Homo-oligomer: A and B are copies of this chain.
Amino acid sequence: MGELDKKRELIVESAIKRFSHFGIQKTTMNEIADDISVTQPALYYYFPDKMTLVIAVVERIMNQYFEELHKCMDGLQSLDEEFYCILTLRKKFMERYFMLKLTEATQEVGQIHDSCQPIMKKAHIKEAAFVTGLLEKAVNNGSISKIDPHKMSGLYIDVLTGLSMFVFITKNKKLFPGNEEFEAILTKQEEFTKVFISGLKTSK
Interface members, chain A 62-107 (any B CB < 8 Å): 103-107
Partner of A197, one of B109, B173, B194, B199: B199
Interface members, chain A 145-174 (any B CB < 8 Å): 151-152, 155, 158-159, 161-166, 169-170, 172-173
A159 to B195, CA, bound (A): 12
Contacts of A55 in B (CB 8 A): none
A117-148 near B? 1/0 per residue, CB < 8 Å: 00000000000000000000000000000000
Interface members, chain A 183-202 (any B CB < 8 Å): 188, 191-192, 194-202
B151 with A162: CB separation less than 8 A:
no
Which B residue's beta carbon lies closest to that of A107?
Answer: B106
Contacts of A104 in B (CB 8 A): 169
Interface residues on A, range: 20 to 34
A107 with B169: CB separation less than 8 A:
yes
A198 with B203: CB separation less than 8 A:
yes
A172 to B191, CA, bound (A): 28
Interface residues, chain A, with chain B CB atoms under 8 Å away: 103-107, 109, 151-152, 155, 158-159, 161-166, 169-170, 172-173, 188, 191-192, 194-203
A-B contact pairs, 26 of them (CB 8 A): A103-B169, A105-B169, A107-B172, A155-B191, A155-B192, A158-B163, A158-B166, A159-B159, A159-B163, A161-B162, A161-B166, A161-B170, A162-B162, A162-B163, A162-B166, A165-B165, A194-B199, A194-B203, A195-B199, A195-B200, A195-B203, A196-B199, A198-B199, A198-B200, A198-B203, A199-B199
